[in-house]
Each structure stands twice: as C-alpha cells, then as structure tokens.
C-alpha cells in the first residue's frame, strides 16, 4: 500500500450524492471489535493497538485477539497492584493470622498473576504474528503481504 494509511474513524465521502459516512471504529477491515472489549476504554485502546488497520486478520481470529487483549489487561492491572504509592515495586505483602493481625510477610500474589497473564499473552501474540520472532518466520510475511 502506498501513501497515507487510512484512519479507522475517518470521515468518508459517499458516492456521487456526497453523503458523508462516518466509519465505524468497532469494525476494521472486516473484523469486528467485540462489544465486551469496546465497552472498556483501556481494553478498546489495547485492541486498537494490536489490530491496527486489521490487515492480515480474519473474523476467525477475533476470539484469539480478544483473549490476547484480556490477558494484556489482566497483566497491566496486576502490575499496577505490584506498585507502592511512590512507584516502587512491592515484592512482599503483609501476612495476616486468623485474628486479622499482621504476623509476617509473604510474596506478592499479583506478581505471579502478572507473569502468568503476560506469558499467555506472549504465546497468543506469537500465534497471531505480533512478535518479532513470529514475523521473521518463513511463510508468515508472504501471508501478510497478500492481505495488503
């Protein structure tokens, strides 16, 4: 494709009658953003960053992209829970006994959750061709070149 890339929410001009058509941001190049993702602004932004203009994706890829977006969002929220108010990493959290008193410390469970979600997201991104290693594989670039 040469020239400027089309914007997903660009104002399109209709045919000879000059009717202005507003592009639907939830549908990009044949794939539709699920309503559950479009309803959450941070997940919608992640979807837009992953999908871009939608080149190389089919409607059958939507569930995998939605799962990737979900795992990225879980990893982001878990990472935010791993930080103190001053921005330092919170490796340990208080451990409570049955009476509710602090009796020591334990590893922060959000770190494991962030790592697990990030690992699943990386596997999905690799399967969808969104990692540098996946793009370097033979055959993938030819498939994507036909979509442009």
Query: Do the strands 92-96 and 102-107 form a parallel or antiparallel pair, or are they unpaired?
Result: antiparallel
pTM: 0.69
* 55-66 average pLDDT score: 87
pLDDT in tens, 32-55: 899 999 999 999 999 998 888 766
- State residue 49 phi and psi, 5-degree precision: -70, -35
């Amino acid at each position: 494709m040469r020239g400027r890339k089309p914007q997903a929410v660009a104002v399109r001009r209709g045919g000879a009658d000059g009717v202005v058509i507003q592009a639907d941001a939830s549908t990009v190049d044949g794939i539709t953003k699920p309503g559950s993702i479009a309803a959450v602004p941070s997940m919608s932004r992640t979807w837009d960053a992953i999908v871009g203009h939608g080149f190389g994706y089919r409607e059958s890829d939507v569930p995998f992209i939605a799962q990737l977006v979900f795992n990225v969002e879980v990893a982001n929220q878990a990472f935010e829970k791993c930080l103190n108010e001053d921005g330092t990493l919170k490796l340990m959290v208080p451990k409570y006994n049955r009476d509710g008193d602090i009796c020591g410390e334990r590893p922060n469970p959000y770190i494991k959750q962030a790592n697990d979600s990030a690992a699943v997201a990386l596997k999905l991104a690799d399967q969808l061709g969104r990692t540098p290693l996946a793009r370097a594989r033979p055959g993938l670039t030819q498939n994507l070149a036909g979509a442009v």
